[in-house]
């Protein structure tokens, strides 16, 4: 195995680990956030409106992330 091949393989493994850590961080965030997105008895109208805005914002961010990833993979590696 050539040293350049080995270096490329190590770099690729590093990228995969970085992506995996990012995914795990997103999963943890979603899990923790889902605990906060619970409608409780006695919530005020203002709290419910704020929650609705947060859910809508979250949906827009997720859609933008998905579009970004799709465009990235459609364009191929840089």
pLDDT digits (tens, 9 = 90+) for 12-62: 888 888 888 888 888 887 777 766 667 788 889 998 898 889 888 888 888
pLDDT of residue 55: 83
Q: Are residues 30 and 44 in the same domain?
A: no
**How many angstroms separate the Cα of 43 from the Cα of each of 11, 46, 47, 51, 52?**
50, 8, 6, 10, 13
Q: Are residues 62 and 31 in the same domain?
A: no
Range of the domain at 10: 1-36
Q: Are residues 24 and 53 in the same domain?
A: no
pLDDT of residue 36: 65
Q: Average pLDDT for residues 3-12, to the nearest whole number?
A: 87
The pair phi, psi for residue 73, each rounded to 5°, is -75, -30
Q: Are residues 55 and 72 in the same domain?
A: yes
Q: Are residues 15 and 1 in the same domain?
A: yes
Q: Is the pLDDT of residue 78 over 60?
A: no
**What's the structural domain count of the chain?**
2
Q: Are residues 18 and 50 in the same domain?
A: no
Distance from C-alpha of 15 to C-alpha of 9, rounded to nearest angstrom: 10
How many alpha carbons lie under 13 Å from residue 28 in its C-beta half-sphere?
Answer: 6
Q: Is the pLDDT of residue 77 over 80?
A: no
């Amino acid at each position: 195995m050539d040293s350049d091949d080995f270096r490329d393989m190590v770099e690729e493994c590093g990228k995969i680990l970085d992506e995996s850590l990012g995914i795990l961080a997103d999963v943890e965030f979603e899990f923790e956030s889902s605990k906060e997105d619970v409608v409780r008895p006695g919530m005020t109208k203002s709290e419910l409106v704020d929650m609705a805005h947060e859910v809508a914002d979250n949906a827009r961010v997720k859609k933008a992330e998905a579009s970004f990833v799709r465009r990235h993979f459609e364009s191929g590696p840089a």
